[in-house]
Structure 1
Amino acid sequence: MRRAFVLLLPVLLAGCVRDSATYYISGNEHTVTVRAEQPYFWDDSVDLSLLAARLPECQRLFRLAKAAPGLALTLHSDGDNAFTLKSDAGTWSFETERCTMLEPKPATGELIGTFRLEGKQMVFAPAAPSAAP
């Protein structure tokens, strides 16, 4: 019985999601990464977390929320290394100068792009460039 369980374990875990997507602000040293994890295949939601990094001074993981798998998170730049993530699950403001969460802002800055879970893969789609005046 135990051997059968060990052999079936990869099949049971095959439905799980564990992926991330990254927005590169300035090379590999300054990034915003959103991770989605579904620890159990029978769970319909994913755990979202944010990794803010501005190396070597800042690197911190923030737990965000449980969300539906098709959720999209928009990333906005509020200037001075401050950013806002918005979705149906909530709004989170953070900065990469000191790696801290801020009070969520009702108004957001420039749209940078969207993090989205497509199937089992997390992707970042940059926003279309705004037209020059």
Structure 2
Amino acid sequence: MVPESGPLVTTSKRRVVYRRSTWAVHEFEVWSGELVCRVAALRMKGSMLLWVGGTSAELGELALGLPVSERGALATSLSEEKAGDGAAGLARRLALALQRPVWVAASLPFDRFSAPLIARGLVKEIKSRPDFFKEP
């Protein structure tokens, strides 16, 4: 017995057009003698999600940065467990640099030692891969 609804039964005359995804993923690591963090960047049309973490795959602190002009950007933390200004500050700086909304998920704390190393590693990666970090 064949069910009436299934992939072999046409229920619509609409034409489906498949397109290539505009999403792209780029993963890299930030090193300073030893591993500082792992980074996964998800480029979407109109925005970017950046995950900064260690060995665990936790989401951690979540922040959103929005460019408001060519000279300024705003950011807010979207998680209850606010570990400081690390993810929000990084989201604000990246939104200003890339001129689009940037989501930052950080599963490791930003302290006075790791924050500059992470920022320097991100700048180096953005400069070495501008094709990935520009708007698709």
User: Which TM-score bucket, shorter chain as reference?
Assistant: 0.3 to 0.5
- Larger RCO (alpha carbons 8 Å, 6+ apart): 2
Task: Point out the structure with the larger strand share.
Answer: 1
Rg: which structure is higher? Answer: 2
Q: TM-score, normalised by structure 1?
A: 0.40
Task: Point out the structure with the larger helix share.
Answer: 2
